[in-house]
Structure 1
């Protein structure tokens, strides 16, 4: 995505950035290529922040790494942001290292799926052995989750019985799938429609299904969550609650209204193919988690234990989820 397109997206958001006046401000800093921007645009487009008594200031930032952490994380930890989203393993890791951060609302099941040719003989977990399986990297959560599920339900580890092939990037993984260098590949959810809607490929194994099985809960389980600093949560508790309300309004809009997705496609996406846009829309609707409770958090702990048993605490970067990482009722 070039800089011009990032500027176009920011301009689309800025169209709805009016004067906050006396309203409390929440500074949201999100990656320019991340799916939360669809939700944030919807909040601004329909004024859901003002409806709930606050001003959401949205700025799109780089997804580059700085000193080993994502730029959005640096924005929060350096005091330049009040709201970001990352996966909950990263939240736990940063909190264990002393960061004053708290996850206060879910975002979604930000995992991917196994993309294979339509004529592939791979239909599920039990078919992975003996195959060349593309992954962005061996420590990618899609691969670790798959390994955990294979060990739990089929008594084998595909890291040993299959041949995982590291692509190094999402773009390179897509190329490897299309050129047949791998039998299948674990791609991220928002990229899968670019492959399956434009060629003879299908998502044969949605990793979200593994998330649900391993977490042992019927609640739709989030992998990514919204977080803020402990200080902001203490000082602006009502604003944090107001964001959660605005978030629910935006989720309802995006789940029920197809027309807003046409607008989002025009202003925030790079897809020219309406079939791809609709597939991204449907994928987002399946991915997003509207709310959570203590049962959800219990499932997140169970899922963490499965990942730790496969990858080890060193690979995850954290031995356990610290107390106070999640606040389901701020």
Structure 2
């Protein structure tokens, strides 16, 4: 039962990440300006679109409200299931030994993630908070995947991995994680289209006017960040940093694939990583040249998560010695 509930939680975690990306990319993060309800109710009020509800200055946009509430309902369900998993491990109900530390930390982290969800609304989609909330969704899914891998049977074939190769693997994981954070920062500052439809150039030049100090601007917490507040030179700098980060991350992943090519028990993982990397690069380019279609933008988030999890699985296989 523990394994089945764990698998359900992973599916839910994917859905939460997808809904979170869709909510953010469709500018529905403030579709419900209060929390935990929506305009003081447990669901979106059944009134005409554009109605100004007493006590709220922001008119109701029904579609955006439902996007936000659907995300909240799913995230709350996931949080409850993660707490159930923690109590199952506490009572020793798992099939294989599972240290209490990881489920305990995940239970704590999902509560923290809920707090960031509240702050996303109450602090008016502040880029730092929204980016941390995005990363939190990725971390939650990764922790669940690691718990599932711990419940899996040890591989029949195991090859010792050289220390220098393990080091490159960890560096690659770090580079990919940072690149995902940069992607979140790009999205939350509405910088995805700051270079226009040009790729690899930006605004049809190789090095446009950019404000790198502005690109790292956090800003105060008391203003509304919906649709962004940065000038275009700062947004262009964010976009270019994200592109450079993508290039560096790609180099590390290709180096990883080359170094690990002779580990036969990892070959299927490397093939999957290669496929996901190719798809992710293609989606990133399409996001720019097609001016950010929401389907491609959401897919870009999903494949980023899948790529991260594929690297995490490689880490698990490499560092978790069968016993």
For the aligned pair, the TM-score class normalised by the smaller chain equals: under 0.3
Which has the larger share of helix? 2
Structure number with higher relative contact order (C-alpha < 8 Å, ≥ 6 residues apart): 1
When normalised by structure 2's length, the TM-score is 0.26
Using the size of structure 1 for normalisation, the TM-score is 0.26
Max Rg structure: 2
Higher strand fraction (1 or 2): 1
